[in-house]
Copies of this chain bind each other. A is one copy, B any other.
């Protein structure tokens, strides 16, 4: 689909959240179709997890986004989908790979939303494909268990914060979940949540560095809990770490089923977004250092630094590998 002015920021770069939403829609369609192909009963695929995603090149207003999706692994109760996004400038014909993402879906029965159905197995052309898929499946399962720990955290508001402190840029957004945000089951599309998360992360980043910013990557996101139509969701973001040219923002989504539900507010999703600051010519700019004040802020900064260095090391290893081939 063609990128419109509302899909983009003032500098004309398409919001990462718009791309994440398209990716998730493609993933939801292909996995719902697959899970209904040998259906015991009709079902809808619900997003369980998105693997770490890099935004390889910014997309602009007027470009066409081509999204392609493929099922790459199935376990008994989950589907792995690989989605590629290409941006195409239809005036020059130039095409670029914008994004590669891996998503995990779980089929939920249309009749009973708490029932997880079985997934029809796919055929692999080579045995290694199945083995590699199984390895990815086990890894993400482990990671999902770990992130459950992080969920207790709350963002406290700060009065009259100093520039470049954590409190200065932290931001919250509330959203009333409407019908067009939801699947046939009446739960929020994972892509809608990711779009709102990117919006908050982008506001945090822009408040911190007061320049044009774009999403560089998103850490793995786990969707622990479904969010129902009619909920109010609060999406909160705070900066956790800055390197010379990047900012890491932690984003939480809390759901408040405030009408005719006995349930308390709960943490539905959390994730780390990485942003970079761009000059008018599209070159990366240095980022003001984040000033940490409390012990918690200092600890989170160090943890962010750890993630940053790990990612950097991984990327260098990949580049060396690629160079040797």
A interface residues (Cβ-Cβ under 8 A, vs B): 1-2, 4-6, 9-10, 25-26, 28-29, 32-33, 36-37, 39, 42-44, 61-62, 64, 88, 90-93, 110, 156-157, 159, 163, 171-176, 178-180, 182, 184, 199-200, 202-203, 206-207, 210-212, 229-230, 232, 256, 258-261
- How many copies of the chain does the oligomer comprise? 3
**B36 close to A258 (CB less than 8 A):** yes
Given contacts A10-B229, A90-B29, whether A259 and B43 have CB atoms under 8 Å apart is yes
**B6 close to A5 (CB less than 8 A):** yes
B residues within 8 A CB of A91?
32, 36, 39, 42-44, 110, 206, 210-211
B residues within 8 A CB of A175?
173
B residues within 8 A CB of A229?
10, 184
The one of B9, B25, B174, B259 that contacts A10, using a Cβ cutoff of 8 Å: B259
Report how far A40 CA is from B16 CA in the complex, Å.
Answer: 33
B residues within 8 A CB of A230?
9-10, 184
The one of B33, B90, B206 that contacts A207, using a Cβ cutoff of 8 Å: B90
B residues within 8 A CB of A37?
93
Given contacts A28-B176, A184-B230, whether A36 and B210 have CB atoms under 8 Å apart is no
**A176 close to B199 (CB less than 8 A):** yes
* Least Cβ–Cβ distance between A212 and chain B, in angstroms: 7
**B179 close to A4 (CB less than 8 A):** yes
B residues within 8 A CB of A110?
91, 259-260
**B212 close to A259 (CB less than 8 A):** yes
**A258 close to B180 (CB less than 8 A):** no
The one of B4, B25, B29 that contacts A180, using a Cβ cutoff of 8 Å: B4
Report how far A157 CA is from B172 CA in the complex, Å.
Answer: 12
* Least Cβ–Cβ distance between A39 and chain B, in angstroms: 7
Given contacts A29-B90, A157-B157, whether A42 and B203 have CB atoms under 8 Å apart is no
**B92 close to A258 (CB less than 8 A):** no
**B232 close to A29 (CB less than 8 A):** yes
**A178 close to B5 (CB less than 8 A):** yes
B residues within 8 A CB of A156?
157, 159
**A184 close to B62 (CB less than 8 A):** yes
B residues within 8 A CB of A43?
91, 259
Report how far A2 CA is from B198 CA in the complex, Å.
Answer: 12
B residues within 8 A CB of A44?
91, 259
B residues within 8 A CB of A173?
1, 173-175
Lowest 4 A-B CB distances belong to which pairs?
A: A42-B260, A5-B179, A157-B157, A5-B5
B residues within 8 A CB of A157?
156-157
B residues within 8 A CB of A33?
64, 88, 90, 93, 232, 256, 258
Report how far A122 CA is from B33 CA in the complex, Å.
Answer: 36
